[in-house]
Amino acid sequence: MRLSHVNNALEQQIARRQFLTQSAGGLGAIALSQLAGKSNAAEIPSHFPARAKRVIYLFMSGGPSQMETFDPKPKLRELHGQPLPESIRKGQRLTSMTSGYDPRIAQSEHKFARMGQCGHEMNVLFKNLGKVADDLSVVRSMHTDPINHDPAVTFIQTGSGVEGRPSLGSWLSYGLGSENSELPGFVVLVSSGGQPLLSRYWHNGFLPSRHQGVQFQTQGDPVLFLSDPNGIDRTNRGRLIEQMNQLNRLRHKQVQDPEIEARIDAFEMAYRMQASVPELMDLSSESKATLDMYGAQPGRASFANNCLLARRLAERGVRFIQLYERGWDHHGAVNSAMRAKIPQVDQPCAALIKDLKQRGLLEDTLVIWGGEFGRTSYSQHNRGAEYGRDHHPRCFSMWMAGGGIKPGINYGRTDELGYNVIENGVHVHDLQATILHCLGINHEQLTYRFKGRDFRLTDVHGQVVKNLLV
């Protein structure tokens, strides 16, 4: 049986079962059973044995330059200031920000070194990540379709450059459910300023709304409107939620709208999170050694704090943990910008890998690092010493670790100027197919019927990159 049909049948069964249980016992009975440890994990079989149970996706929003991170190109220094050869460009389009200029090759001023026994070539600024290099699989041959930020982020997160499709985290929540009844299956953490982030990047699209990502705040209320309003204690709020859900269940009985059942779930989840989330977000319970390893500071909003929170969420069974770290859109002063930006993420990323490994979590946690596209090998706007790099979808670098990914390998190759993929290209849809595979899901069979046809994350594309797998 196709997973889509199993999913749809189970969604209906679960809805009917929950409706009957709720009608018999009300919110109190449900809350007590779930607080006692009952899992809300979906009863959906995987297509094959999974190597990963969860994903931590470290998304570097803005498009990190591959030439300044994981794909060194010494030829750029030799040809610095010269026109980009047509033999390299091959008539490919430029963005409107560059199209009026004569593109000139721009060197990278950064030093690279081989890290670990595997010999990954990295910017030496990744001094901490280099210590866990043997745990990483670096893909230098990523490529995508969109050339601008919003459609590119939308594409890598949802499989489509057009808004309205479910995000990767929503697909995993739908396909696998959650392992913790007191926390959402899909959590989002945001840090740093920079390119705007839209909540539809973690939206459920046409999937039931229970699969939408929930953004946690690292300052103030962890989840908006989670705290009890002034004058209302938790007991009274529980009674209010129960009364509202009684009305919702009556309405559900009349119209059988699955979104009403999802609304009931949301109210009950919010009630349970009031007890679980504050403890989760309180980093002061971590040892000084752990805080120092991440560079985390309790009470502050930072990428370091979010990486530590990601480990804590992984321990508690959250299926998909999405971190957005902004500030990688370097249209100008790319060399100085990288000297400031890389150290901000280097220590926390390395600490996350090390911490997961020490706790026995890395083997079944898939960690992903990368942005929406790469940067051009030519200078944007001919800005002299303060040159930057424009958007470039033709090639970029990412790395993965844990969760069924073969460690210590470089996969794919770009040309001598880092402009085109010349060996083992990995399209965004291939990446998505590979992620699902690591979690035991055949990307061609995880589907949802909407408006008369079956949709999937990878649309009609995507191939699992088997050479990346253990």
* Residue 292: per-residue pLDDT: 98
Q: Which among 24-33, 43-52, 114-123, 252-261 has the top mean pLDDT? A: 114-123
More confident site: 254 or 386: 386
Phi-psi domain of 462 (left: phi exceeds 0; alpha: psi -120 through 50; beta: other)? left
Q: What is the mean pLDDT of residues 121-142?
A: 98
* Residue 251: per-residue pLDDT: 78
* 427 strand-pairing partners: 143
Q: Please report how many Cα atoms fall inside a 13 Å half-sphere around the Cα of residue 228, on the Cβ side.
A: 16
Cα→Cα distances 429→49, 159, 401, 445, Å: 21, 7, 19, 14
Give the integer Cα–Cα distance in Å for 132 and 269. Answer: 37
Neighbouring CB atoms inside 10 A of 217's CB total 14
* Residue 253: per-residue pLDDT: 78
* Residue 360: per-residue pLDDT: 98
Give the integer Cα–Cα distance in Å for 414 and 395. Answer: 7
Residue 20 has pLDDT above 50, yes or no: no
**195-199, 348-352, 464-468, range with the lowest pLDDT:** 195-199
Domain extent for 364: 3-468
Answer whether 53's CB lies under 8 Å from 314's CB. no
Count: domains in the chain? 1
CA 67 distance to own-chain centroid: 23
* Residue 9: per-residue pLDDT: 45
pLDDT tens-place string over residues 343-387: 999 999 999 999 999 999 999 999 999 999 999 999 987 666 789
Q: What is the mean pLDDT of residues 410-437?
A: 98
Cα→Cα distances 403→51, 53, 193, 361, Å: 5, 8, 30, 9
Give the integer Cα–Cα distance in Å for 182 and 35. Answer: 7
Give the integer Cα–Cα distance in Å for 104 and 12. Answer: 59
Phi-psi domain of 114 (left: phi exceeds 0; alpha: psi -120 through 50; beta: other)? beta
Neighbouring CB atoms inside 10 A of 82's CB total 11
pLDDT band for position 16 (cuts 50, 70, 90):
very low
Please name the helix (run of DSSP H) or strand (run of DSSP E) that holds residue 367, with its range, or none.
Answer: strand 365-370
* Residue 372: per-residue pLDDT: 98
More confident site: 288 or 385: 288
> What contacts 383, CB < 8 A, 6 or more positions away?
332
More confident site: 196 or 62: 62
Give the integer Cα–Cα distance in Å for 59 and 367. Answer: 10
Give the integer Cα–Cα distance in Å for 169 and 184. Answer: 11
Give the integer Cα–Cα distance in Å for 199 and 78. Answer: 43
DSSP code per residue over 100-144: TS--EE------EEEETTTTEEEETT-TTGGGGGGGEEEEEEEE-
Residue 88 has pLDDT above 60, yes or no: yes
Q: What is the mean pLDDT of residues 69-86?
A: 94
Q: What values do phi and psi take at 113, rounded to 5? A: -145, 155
* Residue 269: per-residue pLDDT: 65
pLDDT tens-place string over residues 309-323: 999 999 999 999 999
pLDDT band for position 182 (cuts 50, 70, 90):
confident
Q: What is the mean pLDDT of residues 244-256?
A: 75
- pTM of the shown model: 0.85
Nearest Cα residue to 105 out of 438, 419, 330: 419
Q: What is the mean pLDDT of residues 144-172?
A: 96
Please name the helix (run of DSSP H) or strand (run of DSSP E) that holds residue 271, with its range, or none.
Answer: helix 258-281
CATH for 396? 3.40.720
* 80 strand-pairing partners: none
* Residue 18: per-residue pLDDT: 41
Q: What values do phi and psi take at 267, rounded to 5? A: -60, -45
Burial degree of 145 (CB within 10 A; 0-12, 13-18, 19+): middle
